[in-house]
C-alpha cells in the first residue's frame, strides 16, 4: 500500500510528493524546496519515517519543480530521473531564476532519462509512466492503478489546466495529452497536482471548463 505525503514549497507554492510503501522504500517527486528550512523539513520527514529514498523523479523541469533536486541527489545519494525533452528546460532554470529574482537555486543535471513506456518500481509498488507533453515538452505523469491515483505535475488542476504561455509550451498538445492519457481513466482516479489541492478524473471530467 502506497502512502503519499506532500509539502508545498517555495514562493511559487509547488507541491513536492513523497511516496513510500510498507517496505519503507520511497520516491521523491518534484522537490521544490528552496529555503534551507524547507530542505530540512523534507529531510526530517524522510528520517522521522525511516524511509529509504530510491529515486528522484521529475514530472518536468520547470524551475519550481527542481529547486531542491540538487539537494535531494546529494542528501540521499540518488539519481535524478526525467524525460530527455526536458534537458533544454532544465538548462534554462538558472537564467529563469535570475529573470524572476529567485535566489538560492543550485544547478542540477539529470542522470537517467525515463522512457515514455517505463514502469517505475519501488518496494512492492509500481508507477506507470505516462507521456503528457504540452505544459512542458517532456512532461510525465506517474500512475498507480491498484490505488487509482496520478501524480500529475502541472497538467491538470482542480478546475483548470497547466499554463502554456512559457517557452516550449503547446496548448493543443496539452489538451490532447489530457484526453489521451488522463480522461481515459476511471472517474475514481485521484489526481495529485503540482499546485493546489488534489482532484479526481470524475470531478474534472464533469466540471472543468476546458473539457
Ligand atoms: Zn510547470
Ligand atoms: Zn509548477
174 in Cβ contact with 134 (< 8 Å): yes
Laid out side by side, the sheet with 199-200 consists of 119-122, 125-131, 140-144, 149-153, 190-193, 199-200
| Mean pLDDT, all residues of the chain | 97
Model confidence at 182, pLDDT cuts 50, 70, 90, reads very high
The pLDDT confidence band at residue 123, using thresholds 50, 70 and 90, is: very high
Nearest ligand, CA 14: 2
Q: Please enumerate in sequence order all residues whose Cβ is within 8 A of that of 165, keeping only pairs 6 or more positions apart, or say none.
A: none
Closest ligand by atom to 62 CA: 1
Q: What distance in angstroms lies between residue 44's CA and the mean position of ligand 1's atoms?
A: 26
pLDDT score recorded for residue 50: 98
- Residue 65 CA to ligand 2 center (angstroms) comes to 6
What pLDDT band is residue 22 in, cutting at 50, 70 and 90? very high
Residue 206 CA to residue 136 CA, distance in Å, equals: 25
> Ligand 1 mean position to 152 CA, how many Å?
11
Q: Which residue's C-alpha cell is 518496494?
A: 123
Nearest to 138 by CA among 60, 24, 49: 60
Given this model, what pLDDT does residue 145 score? Answer: 98
- What pLDDT does 116 receive? 93
Distance between CA 101 and CA 95 in Å, rounded? 10
130 near 152, Cβ under 8 Å?
no
Confidence of residue 33 (pLDDT cuts 50, 70, 90): very high
pLDDT of residue 32: 98
Indicate the pLDDT class of residue 49, thresholds 50, 70 and 90.
Answer: very high
| Nearest bound ligand to the CA of residue 61 | 1
Question: Which residues fall inside 5 Å of ion ligand 1, going by CB?
Answer: 62, 154
Strand, helix or coil for residue 94: helix
Question: pTM here?
Answer: 0.98
Percent of the chain at pLDDT exceeding 90: 99
At 142 the pLDDT is: 98
Q: Average pLDDT for residues 188-211, to the nearest whole number?
A: 97
What mean pLDDT is predicted for residues 107-135? 97
Cα of 62 vs centre of ligand 2, distance in Å, is 6
Amino acid at each position: 500500500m502506497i502512502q503519499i505525503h506532500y509539502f508545498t514549497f517555495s514562493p511559487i507554492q509547488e507541491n513536492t510528493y513523497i511516496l513510500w510503501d510498507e517496505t519503507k522504500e520511497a520516491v521523491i517527486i518534484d522537490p521544490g524546496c528552496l529555503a534551507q528550512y524547507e530542505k530540512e523539513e523534507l529531510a526530517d520527514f524522510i528520517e522521522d519515517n525511516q524511509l529509504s529514498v530510491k529515486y528522484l523523479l521529475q514530472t518536468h523541469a520547470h524551475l519550481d519543480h527542481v529547486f531542491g533536486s540538487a539537494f535531494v541527489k546529494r542528501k540521499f545519494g540518488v539519481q535524478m530521473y526525467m524525460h530527455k525533452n526536458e534537458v533544454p528546460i532544465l538548462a534554462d532554470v538558472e537564467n529563469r531564476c535570475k529573470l524572476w529574482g529567485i535566489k538560492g537555486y543550485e544547478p542540477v543535471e539529470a542522470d537517467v532519462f525515463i522512457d515514455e513506456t517505463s514502469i517505475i518500481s519501488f518496494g512492492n509498488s509500481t508507477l506507470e509512466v505516462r507521456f503528457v507533453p504540452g505544459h512542458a515538452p517532456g512532461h510525465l505523469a506517474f500512475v498507480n492503478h491498484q490505488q487509482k491515483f496520478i501524480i500529475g505535475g502541472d497538467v491538470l488542476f482542480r478546475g483548470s489546466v497547466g499554463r502554456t504561455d512559457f517557452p516550449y509550451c503547446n496548448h493543443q498538445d496539452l489538451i490532447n495529452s489530457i484526453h489521451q492519457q488522463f480522461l481515459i481513466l476511471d472517474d475514481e482516479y485521484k489526481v495529485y497536482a503540482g499546485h493546489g489541492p488534489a482532484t479526481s478524473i470524475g470531478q474534472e471530467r464533469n466540471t472543468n471548463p476546458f473539457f
